[in-house]
Chain A
Amino acid sequence: DQQVKQNSPSLSVQEGRISILNCDYTNSMFDYFLWYKKYPAEGPTFLISISSIKDKNEDGRFTVFLNKSAKHLSLHIVPSQPGDSAVYFCAARDLTGTYKYIFGTGTRLKVLA
Chain B
Amino acid sequence: DAGVIQSPRHEVTEMGQEVTLRCKPISGHNSLFWYRQTMMRGLELLIYFNNNVPIDDSGMPEDRFSAKMPNASFSTLKIQPSEPRDSAVYFCASSPWKENTEAFFGQGTRLTVV
Instruction: Write the residues of chain A forming the contact surface with B, with a CB cutoff of 8 angstroms.
Output: 2, 6, 32, 34, 36, 41-46, 49, 51, 89, 91, 95, 98-106
Instruction: Write the residues of chain B forming the contact surface with A, with a CB cutoff of 8 angstroms.
Output: 4, 31, 33, 35, 39-45, 48, 50, 55-56, 91, 93, 95, 97, 99-100, 102-108
Asked whether B100 lies within 8 Å of A32 as measured between CB atoms, the reply is yes
CB-nearest residue of chain A relative to B31? Answer: A99
Question: Are A32 and B99 CB-contacts (below 8 A) given A102-B45, A103-B42?
Answer: yes
CB-nearest residue of chain B relative to A4? Answer: B42
Give the interface centre of B35, B50, B100, B104 by most chain A CB atoms within 10 Å. B100
Asked whether A46 lies within 8 Å of B104 as measured between CB atoms, the reply is yes
Asked whether A44 lies within 8 Å of B105 as measured between CB atoms, the reply is yes
Asked whether A42 lies within 8 Å of B91 as measured between CB atoms, the reply is no
CB-nearest residue of chain A relative to B59? Answer: A100
The listed residue (A42, A51, A101, A105) touching B103 by CB distance below 8 A is A101
The listed residue (A34, A36, A98) touching B55 by CB distance below 8 A is A98
Q: Which residues of A contact B56 (CB under 8 A)?
A: 98, 100
Q: Which residues of A contact B103 (CB under 8 A)?
A: 46, 101
A-B contacts besides A43-B93, A99-B50, A105-B40, 15 pairs, CB < 8 Å: A6-B42, A32-B100, A34-B102, A41-B107, A41-B108, A43-B105, A45-B105, A46-B102, A49-B102, A89-B42, A98-B55, A101-B103, A103-B42, A104-B43, A106-B43
Asked whether B43 lies within 8 Å of A42 as measured between CB atoms, the reply is no
The listed residue (A42, A51, A101, A105) touching B107 by CB distance below 8 A is A42
The docked-state distance in angstroms from the alpha carbon of A8 to that of B99 is 29
The listed residue (B43, B44, B95, B97) touching A44 by CB distance below 8 A is B43
